[in-house]
Amino acid sequence: MITINLRPGQKRKRTGSPFAGVSERAKAIGARVKDPLLLAAAAAWIGVLLWLGWVWTSNTRELHALTPRLEQVRVEHKRFKNFIAQKRHQELIRDSLVSQIGVIRTVDGDRYVWPHVLDEVARALPAYTWLTELAPASAATAADSSDTTSSKALAFKITGRTVDIQAYTRFLRQLEASPWVENVSPISAMTVVENERPVTAFTLTATFHKADSAYIRTVALSQSVR
């Protein structure tokens, strides 16, 4: 731009710095504002604004950094929620099966007791010995036979004959050796005449109980035939 000096006798003033006016305005404002409390309040507000800006920037940066982790946690939460739901469903099925098995055991628990008693007694019976009675023992006899008989055990009485007293003692030992029979107690043993022959008539009591699982053998109810 071309400038023309309309007053040739005067020198043209140099244009000053563009920041000269700003500094002068700042000095003017400083000269006008002479209250120190007002200056402190203004400085405090500036500090608060700067701190708020820094906090907002930091929180925004941290939020952007945590967003991928939040999505990952949501995916893991959904997966574990489905796993827990499946586990609870399986537990409900298990509890239902356990309850049904308990009912079946309650109904079917005593069904095969007497066949098992007959099996154990027949296995322990020696030669030249026969039985005349096998029945549940009376309450008084069962109480006298053992004080430790459980409420679920079965007390029974055996009456028989033998031509050999040693066979009678062998029968007692073999019956006591059975893991299913306990509290074998002889009641009486006397010589009687039967069919014009002297024999030993004996009476004893015992208790049948469920043996340890090591003595239990299971077999299949049905087998395929080819």
> Residue 47: what pLDDT?
86
Q: Which of the four CATH numbers 3.40.50.720, 3.30.70.2830, 3.40.50.700, 3.40.50.300 does domain 113-211 have?
A: 3.30.70.2830
Q: 204: closest CA among 120, 112, 142?
A: 142
The kind and range of the H/E element at 107 are: helix 36-108
> Residue 150: what pLDDT?
45
> Residue 90: what pLDDT?
92
- Distances 174 to 12, 96, 184, 205, 212 between C-alpha atoms, Å: 142, 43, 10, 14, 18
> Residue 222: what pLDDT?
60
> Residue 125: what pLDDT?
93
Contact 211, 184 (CB under 8 A): no
> Residue 186: what pLDDT?
93
The token pair that represents 86 in the structure block:
């499946």
Mean pLDDT per 10-residue run, the chain (226 residues)? Answer: 59 54 59 67 84 88 83 87 91 91 74 85 92 81 47 83 91 92 92 88 91 65 58
> Residue 139: what pLDDT?
54
